[in-house]
Structure 1
Amino acid sequence: MNKLNQYTLDEIIDIPSLQNIQDKFSKMTNMSAITVDKIGTPITKPSNFTRFCNLIRTSKEGYRRCINCDAQGGLKSTQLKKPVIYTCHAGLTDLSAPIIVNDIHFGSMLCGQVVIKGNGNKKLIDLEKLSNELSLPVDELEATLLHVKSLKYNKITASADFLSLCTNSIAKMGVATITHSELLEETKEKMKFQQLAKDAQIKSIQSQLDPHFLFNTLNTIAGMALMENCNQTADLIYSLSDILRYSIKNSKDMVEIGTELENVKKYLFIQTIRYSDKLNYDIKIPDEIFRYKIPAMTLQPIIENAIMHGLEPKKDPGIIKIHGEVLPDKFIQIKITDNGIGMSNEKLNSINNKLSSTSINGGIGIKLVHDRLIYYLGPESGVKIESVPDIGTTVNVKFPLVY
Structure 2
Amino acid sequence: MAIFNNYKFNEIIDIDFLQNIQDKFANIVGLSTITVDESGNPVANSSKFSKFCTLIRSSDEGKRRCTLCDAKGGFDAMRQGKPIIYFCHAGLTDLAAPIIVDNNYIGCMLCGQVIVEEFDNKKKMNLNKLSKELNLPKAKLEDALKEVNVWKHKDITESADFLFLFSNFIAKIGISNIINNKLLKETQEKARLEKLLKNTKIKALQSQINPHFLFNTLNTVGRMALIENAPKTESLIYALSDLLRYSIKNSQHLVTIDTEIKNIEKYLYIQHQRFGDRISYEINIDERICNCKIPVMTLQPLVENSIIHGLESKKEGGKVIINGEIFYDKYILLEIIDNGLGMDEVKLKMINFYNNENTSLELGIQNVKDRLLHYFAHECSFFVESTLGSGTKVTMKIPHYFSGEMSCINY
TM-score (norm 1): 0.92
CA distance in 1: counterparts of 2:135 and 2:319, whole angstroms? 48
Instruction: Say if 1:200 and 1:241 are closer, same or farther in 2 by CA, change over 3 A.
Output: closer
- What's the counterpart of residue 91 of structure 2? 91
Shift of 1:397: 2.4
Q: Please list the CA deviations of residues 56-106 of structure 1 after superposition, one character each: whole Å capped at 9, or x if unmatched.
A: 234444333221211111112223333222111221111111222232222
CA distance in 1: counterparts of 2:391 and 2:58, whole angstroms? 40
CA distance in 2: counterparts of 1:332 and 1:101, whole angstroms? 43
CA distance in 2: counterparts of 1:205 and 1:372, whole angstroms? 19
SS state at 1:5 partner:
coil
Shift of 1:302: 0.8
- What's the counterpart of residue 112 of structure 1? 112
CA distance in 2: counterparts of 1:353 and 1:169, whole angstroms? 34
Matches within 5 A, 1:97-246: 97-188=97-188, 190-199=189-198, 201=200, 206-207=205-206, 208-246=208-246
CA distance in 2: counterparts of 1:328 and 1:176, whole angstroms? 42
CA distance in 1: counterparts of 2:183 and 2:391, whole angstroms? 34
The worse-fitting range, judged by mean Cα deviation, of 201-210 and 45-54 is 201-210
Q: Tell me if the contact between 2:278 and 2:314 (Cα under 8 Å) persists in the aligned partners.
A: no
- What's the counterpart of residue 375 of structure 2? 376
Q: Tell me if the contact between 1:260 and 1:299 (Cα under 8 Å) persists in the aligned partners.
A: yes
- What's the counterpart of residue 391 of structure 1? 390
- What's the counterpart of residue 47 of structure 1? 47
- What's the counterpart of residue 260 of structure 2? 260
The worse-fitting range, judged by mean Cα deviation, of 152-161 and 316-325 is 152-161
CA distance in 1: counterparts of 2:326 and 2:139, whole angstroms? 67
CA distance in 2: counterparts of 1:152 and 1:58, whole angstroms? 28
Q: Please list the CA deviations of residues 112-165 of structure 1 after superposition, one character each: whole Å capped at 9, or x if unmatched.
A: 100113543224422234345444443333232222111122222232233223
CA distance in 2: counterparts of 1:206 and 1:161, whole angstroms? 16
**Residue type of the alignment partner of 1:222:** G
CA distance in 1: counterparts of 2:345 and 2:181, whole angstroms? 27
Number of aligned residue pairs: 399
Identity %, equivalent residues: 49
Shift of 1:276: 0.9
Q: Tell me if the contact between 2:223 and 2:234 (Cα under 8 Å) persists in the aligned partners.
A: yes
TM-score (norm 2): 0.90
Contiguous gaps of at least 5 residues in structure 1: none
Instruction: Say if 1:351 and 1:210 are closer, same or farther in 2 by CA, change over 3 A.
Output: same
Q: Tell me if the contact between 1:323 and 1:335 (Cα under 8 Å) persists in the aligned partners.
A: yes
CA RMSD of aligned residues (A): 2.2
Q: Tell me if the contact between 1:338 and 1:393 (Cα under 8 Å) persists in the aligned partners.
A: yes
Contiguous gaps of at least 5 residues in structure 2: 405-411
